[in-house]
């Protein structure tokens, strides 16, 4: 049985937020009497993550995904509840715990700006007590996997965003952590760089059995990496479970686009009792429930003269978008 | 084994930070030049014959201010400004989850900057001797060693004071304004503008209880060969380090509990 590597129980986090009215009057009032209120951004959440799992945290901006990651890696203290990551209380930042984890934030960097990334890699290697031989071996292996061999000796400031992100990843993985916290790692990357990064993460997970907690606004990151998702809505968990189950539940229909040989065939198909989503000349789009896809296809192929046929899944972004604005999903 | 690991950690940290500082060599040269306040003060003192009141000859005084310049060059601390920016922008987040206190990085940056400054400080000293040839002297090795130690201790005291102030960022966000308050006593009581011996007796007795005279005055007097109480100087430097270090550790531990990782 695979053991839980992350255990979170009744976790809450509050921040003191000060507010100020607009204008000069508001500024003066704010200067003499500051109004602060405690805002609960994470509300009593509980979940477990098993070793080797890749879990995607989904939520709208400000839902609390990043705050959860920050608490999991020990960057910030929880207000209430308990967190155990790899058997440690993360916020105590014990050396053994820190050597086991890494955090990558798409918009933050740890590489030294004016030096080539190789310098930061060796620095990180020494921080994590790796000897030179081992550091060299890991840099070689990871740079090959990330395909950045040529960029190692170019100052960071001269690298493209994609090259920089890959270098960040290498710097963050040089100590071969078992748990990766990735906060929007593909932010700002082009499509190819995003795909390469996803490929790398998937390979890293398979080779090392590392646990990966990921937040991203790019649905492709989530769908290609995560089997399980945790949806956060206003600091609470609105769904925790398999991604495909959620997609099936939220989208019980598929669309069939049929290109008929003639407009006449299209009209006949339109009147055959299917739910028609749209029709243009000889093209017709039908909406069919998942359970009836096979029988619907049989009927169409046997009775109509068709030129081409496409089965489309509804866009994942649309479905996920629905989840982000709902409070609860029981599946 | 463990000492080797620590040695390698320290060596790599210094090596990388030194490479980084060399990228800013012109800026560092300008910083070195901007530290010539002691030479202006020397001019004010000698042109007004103020040195007669403290039984310092012109040579003793010019050596004192040259040494004050050197001590200042190798004990300048700016950690509060770096830390404030990094903390407010969330830049320290990646460093906080590494098994090395981020202050070691700042410490290494300072040492690397001092190493980069060294040749520029020597050039400035060379020009000083051209204009003041009577001040040329070669301190003996023992004195050189002791004054190097006391300059390093002075740097440590200032680094700890600023680190404590920097940690206040976790509560106040603009901790550098508190540092500016501390800059006033540092400027007047450290010996940068005037040797502490020139202060009235009752003021001196109080000043010597504070860390300030051990930042510039003590190491500068030691290096220049002027009379100074060596055992008191070192004892007070070590005492202040022992007082400040646990305070820093405490404020760091409490502060990181308050950290909200803003800007990310």
Backbone angles phi, psi at A213, to 5 degrees: -110, 125
Question: Residue B63 in contact with residue B135, Cβ under 8 Å?
Answer: yes
Of the ranges A5-9, A50-54, A158-162, B33-37, which one carries the lowest mean pLDDT score?
A: B33-37
First to last CA, chain B: 38
Q: Chain B residues with CB inside 8 Å of A123's CB?
A: 12-13, 16
Q: Chain A residues with CB inside 8 Å of B24's CB?
A: 114
B91: pLDDT confidence band, cut at 50, 70 and 90?
Answer: confident
Backbone angles phi, psi at A155, to 5 degrees: -55, 140
DSSP E strands in A109-252: the ranges are 179-183, 211-215, 228-233, 236-242
| Averaged pLDDT for residues A167-172 | 91
CA gap A177, B136 in Å, rounded = 58
| Averaged pLDDT for residues B182-197 | 91
Lookup: tokens for A217: 């606004």
For chain A, the structural domain boundaries read 4-248, 252-312
pLDDT at B103: 94
CA gap A97, B66 in Å, rounded = 50
Lookup: tokens for B167: 């940690």
Question: Residue B235 in contact with residue B214, Cβ under 8 Å?
Answer: no
A249: pLDDT confidence band, cut at 50, 70 and 90?
Answer: confident
CA gap B262, B88 in Å, rounded = 6
Instruction: Flag whether pLDDT at A315 surpasses 80.
Output: no
B16 with A120: Cβ contact below 8 A: yes
CB count, 10 Å around CB of B60?
A: 18
Question: Residue A71 in contact with residue A78, Cβ under 8 Å?
Answer: yes
| Averaged pLDDT for residues A271-300 | 85
Q: Tokens 């955090």 correspond to what residue?
A: A103
* Residue A297 half-sphere exposure toward CB, CA atoms < 13 A: 14
| Averaged pLDDT for residues B124-134 | 91
DSSP E strands in A178-263: the ranges are 179-183, 211-215, 228-233, 236-242, 253-260
| Residue among B113, B127, B39, B42 at smallest CA distance from B73 | B113
Q: In this structure, what DSSP letter does residue B78 have?
A: -
Residue B263 placed within a domain: no
Q: How many angstroms separate the CA of residue B241 from the nearest CA in chain A?
A: 25
Lookup: tokens for A211: 């646990």
Lookup: tokens for A268: 């006949």
Q: Tokens 């930070």 correspond to what residue?
A: B17
Using only the alpha carbons of chain B, give its radius of gyration.
19
pLDDT at B2: 62
Lookup: tokens for A176: 């071969």
CB count, 10 Å around CB of B231?
A: 7
Instruction: Flag whether pLDDT at B51 surpasses 80.
Output: no
CA A68 to chain centroid: 13
Of the ranges A139-143, A160-164, B125-129, B172-176, which one carries the lowest mean pLDDT score?
A: B172-176
Instruction: Flag whether pLDDT at A314 surpasses 80.
Output: no
| Averaged pLDDT for residues A78-100 | 95
**Highest mean pLDDT, choosing among A17-21, A27-31, A286-290, B77-81:** B77-81
Per-residue pLDDT tens digits for B197-236: 989 989 999 999 999 999 999 999 999 998 899 999 999 9
Residues linked to residue A286 through DSSP beta bridges, in sequence order: A256, A276
CA gap A185, A183 in Å, rounded = 6
Residues linked to residue A50 through DSSP beta bridges, in sequence order: A4
| Averaged pLDDT for residues A22-38 | 77
pLDDT at A275: 86
Q: Provide the pairing of β-strand A4-19 with A283-289.
A: unpaired
- Number of compact structural domains in chain B: 1
Question: Residue B194 in contact with residue B216, Cβ under 8 Å?
Answer: no
Domain with B12, as residue range(s), is: 2-258
Helix, strand or coil, per DSSP, at residue A2: coil
CA gap B221, B20 in Å, rounded = 33
CATH code for residues A252-312: 3.30.2130.10
pLDDT at B212: 96
Question: Residue A77 in contact with residue A91, Cβ under 8 Å?
Answer: yes
pLDDT at B244: 97
Lookup: tokens for A37: 């209120």
Per-residue pLDDT tens digits for A50-84: 999 999 999 888 889 999 999 999 999 999 999 99
Per-residue pLDDT tens digits for B138-163: 889 999 999 999 999 999 999 999 99
CA gap B195, A247 in Å, rounded = 77
Taking phi over 0 as left and psi of -120 to 50 as alpha, with beta for the rest, A47 belongs to: beta
A251: pLDDT confidence band, cut at 50, 70 and 90?
Answer: confident
| Averaged pLDDT for residues A151-169 | 90
Helix, strand or coil, per DSSP, at residue A5: strand
Q: Provide the pairing of β-strand A253-260 with A275-280.
A: unpaired
| Chain A residues with CB within 8 Å of chain B CB | 15, 66, 70, 73-77, 91, 93, 95, 98-99, 101-103, 105, 107-110, 112, 114-115, 119-120, 122-129, 131-132, 172, 183
CA-based nearest residue in chain A for residue B170: A76
pLDDT at B38: 85
pLDDT at A331: 52
B264 vs A59, more confident? A59
B94 with A73: Cβ contact below 8 A: no
B44: pLDDT confidence band, cut at 50, 70 and 90?
Answer: confident
Question: Residue A212 in contact with residue A221, Cβ under 8 Å?
Answer: no
The topology (CATH level 3) of A4-248 is: Rossmann fold (3.40.50)
Query: How is A63-89 classified by DSSP, letter by letter?
Result: SSHHHHHHHHTTSS--SEEEEEETTB-
Instruction: Flag whether pLDDT at A150 surpasses 60.
Output: yes
Per-residue pLDDT tens digits for A221-240: 888 999 999 999 899 998 89
Query: How is A148-181 classified by DSSP, letter by letter?
Result: -GGGTTS-GGGS-HHHHHHHHHHHHHTT--SEEE
Question: Residue A233 in contact with residue A42, Cβ under 8 Å?
Answer: no
Instruction: Flag whether pLDDT at A201 surpasses 80.
Output: yes
Torsion over CA: B38, B44, B46, B51 (sign): negative
Q: In this structure, what DSSP letter does residue B190 have?
A: S
Give percent of chain B above pLDDT 90. 56
Question: Residue A244 in contact with residue A228, Cβ under 8 Å?
Answer: no
Q: Is A311 exposed, middle or buried (0-12, 13-18, 19+ CB in 10 A)?
A: exposed
| Residue among A255, A189, A200, A250 at smallest CA distance from A224 | A200
A98 with B99: Cβ contact below 8 A: yes
Give percent of chain A above pLDDT 90. 44
Helix, strand or coil, per DSSP, at residue A307: strand
CA-based nearest residue in chain A for residue B3: A129
Q: Chain A residues with CB inside 8 Å of B264's CB?
A: 66, 105, 107-108, 183
The model scores a pTM over 0.90: no
| Averaged pLDDT for residues A319-323 | 74
Q: Chain B residues with CB inside 8 Å of A127's CB?
A: 9, 98-100
Residue B89 placed within a domain: yes
DSSP E strands in B66-150: the ranges are none
A70 with B261: Cβ contact below 8 A: yes
**pLDDT averaged over every residue in chain A:** 87
Residue B114 placed within a domain: yes
| Residue among A12, A9, A29 at smallest CA distance from A20 | A29
pLDDT at A44: 95
């Amino acid at each position: 049985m695979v053991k839980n590597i992350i255990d979170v129980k009744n976790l809450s986090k509050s921040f003191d937020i000060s507010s100020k009215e607009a204008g000069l009057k508001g500024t003066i009032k704010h200067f003499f009497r500051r109004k602060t209120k405690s805002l609960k951004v994470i509300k009593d959440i509980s979940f477990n993550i098993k070793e080797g799992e890749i879990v995607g945290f989904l939520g709208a901006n400000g839902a609390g995904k990043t705050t959860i990651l920050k608490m999991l890696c020990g960057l910030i203290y929880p207000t209430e509840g308990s967190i155990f990551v790899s058997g440690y209380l993360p916020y105590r930042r014990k050396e053994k715990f820190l050597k086991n984890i890494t955090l990558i934030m798409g918009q933050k960097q740890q590489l030294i700006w004016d030096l080539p990334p190789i310098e930061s890699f060796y620095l990180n290697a020494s921080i994590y007590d790796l000897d030179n031989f081992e550091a060299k071996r890991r840099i070689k292996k990871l740079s090959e996997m990330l395909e950045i061999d040529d960029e190692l000796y170019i100052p960071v400031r001269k690298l493209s965003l994609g090259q920089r992100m890959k270098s960040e990843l290498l710097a963050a993985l040089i100590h071969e952590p078992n748990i990766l916290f990735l906060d929007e790692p593909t932010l700002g990357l082009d499509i190819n760089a995003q795909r390469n990064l996803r490929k790398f993460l998937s390979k890293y997970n398979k080779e090392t059995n590392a646990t990966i907690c990921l937040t991203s606004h790019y649905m492709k990151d989530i769908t290609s990496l995560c089997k399980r998702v945790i949806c956060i809505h206003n600091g609470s968990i609105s769904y925790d479970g398999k991604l495909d189950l959620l997609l099936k539940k939220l989208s019980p229909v598929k669309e069939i686009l049929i290109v008929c040989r003639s407009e006449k065939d299209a009209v006949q198909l339109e009147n055959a009792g299917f739910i028609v989503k749209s029709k243009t000349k000889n093209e017709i789009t039908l909406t069919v429930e998942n359970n009836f896809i096979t029988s619907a296809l049989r009927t169409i192929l046997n009775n109509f003269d068709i030129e081409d046929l496409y089965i489309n899944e509804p866009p994942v972004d649309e479905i996920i978008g629905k989840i982000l604005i709902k409070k609860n999903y029981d599946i | 084994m463990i000492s080797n690991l620590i040695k390698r950690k320290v060596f790599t940290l210094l090596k990388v930070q030194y490479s980084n500082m060399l990228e800013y060599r012109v800026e560092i040269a300008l910083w070195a030049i901007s530290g010539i306040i002691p030479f202006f003060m020397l001019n004010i003192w000698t042109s007004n014959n103020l040195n007669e009141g403290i039984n310092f000859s012109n040579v003793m005084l010019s050596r004192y201010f040259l040494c004050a310049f050197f001590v200042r060059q190798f004990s300048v601390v700016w950690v509060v400004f770096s830390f404030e920016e990094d903390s407010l922008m969330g830049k320290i987040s990646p460093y906080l989850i590494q098994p090395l206190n981020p202050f070691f990085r700042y410490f290494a940056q300072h040492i690397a900057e001092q190493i980069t400054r060294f040749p520029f400080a020597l050039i400035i000293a060379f020009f000083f001797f051209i204009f003041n040839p009577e001040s040329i002297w070669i301190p003996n090795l023992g004195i050189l060693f002791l004054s190097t130690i006391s300059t390093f201790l002075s740097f440590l005291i200032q680094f700890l004071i600023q680190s404590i102030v920097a940690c206040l960022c976790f509560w106040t966000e603009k901790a550098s304004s508190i540092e500016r308050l501390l800059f006033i006593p540092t400027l007047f009581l450290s010996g940068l503008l005037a040797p502490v011996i020139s202060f009235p007796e009752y003021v001196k007795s109080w000043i010597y209880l504070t860390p300030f005279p051990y930042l510039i005055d003590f190491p500068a007097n030691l290096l220049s060969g002027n009379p100074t109480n060596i055992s008191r100087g070192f004892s007070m430097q070590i005492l202040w380090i022992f007082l400040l270090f646990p305070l820093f550790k405490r404020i760091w531990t409490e502060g990181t509990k308050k950290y909200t990782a803003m800007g990310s």
